Structure 1
Amino acid sequence: MLTAAALAIRAEVAIRRHGVAGAARVGGLQLAMDGAAAPVASPTEAGLTDRELEQLDIAWRMLRWGPFNGTCLRRAVVGGYFLRHHEPLLRIGVTKIDGKVAAHAWVEVGAVGLDPDGAAVYRVLVTPEEVQG
């Protein structure tokens, strides 16, 4: 839990100073903006070990409590750190809900989206070059 708390603080500093790309680096994530999101599934379907599942559970539960800001981006960065040897991807998606644009972030490991909040309804952001190409 101490590792997750320290990482949450580092992620917060990175988000404020360097944005999403900086936060991704803190978590050992690759920012993926190719529009090809993997299907959302349970972490067990991604082939994670029991220890990795426990680390994710502890980190994500810890982020729900103050003083931490447990938004989806923070959960993705902290969770990605514990899975960094799997080469996780950070996805950012958007959707419209009741006429307002909403954004969401999640982690993908081994072609499986690990998302407790349902990334399936979000459209993955792409880089401008891919929109034109």
Structure 2
Amino acid sequence: MTKLAGGDIFSPVRSALAGVAVAMALFQLSACTSTDTQIVDTSSPSGLSSGQARNTGTFPNLNIPPQSAASQISDAEKAEKLSELKTAQSSQEAEGGAVPSDEELLKKLAATHAQKTLSEIEGK
């Protein structure tokens, strides 16, 4: 292998490739910058439901417990509603034998829906 005064024959190639690599990196970094200047509106949003966050300049207090939107049902109310549902279920089972499954209901709906749609299309 032929040696140059400062090293081997590949050192000029290596320095050229290093220069190209640095130039490519700088080119890619320049793509991240922008010359467009946009004015940001810092005024407070109009209306209560603007859908945007409002900067009050303070941190939120996370120690305040959230307020519920509606009163919660008590255990007694829950038991009462559950017993009403069980009563309704047992009365349906007594009338028809067994409560139809979801699959049966969907098949019946598909059959009646198809007939109804065809009659509407045909204008009958």
Please report the TM-score for the alignment, with normalisation by the length of structure 2: 0.18
Higher relative contact order (CA 8 A, sep 6+): 1
Q: TM-score, normalised by structure 1?
A: 0.17
Say which structure is richer in strand.
1
Asked which structure has the greater CA Rg, the reply is 2
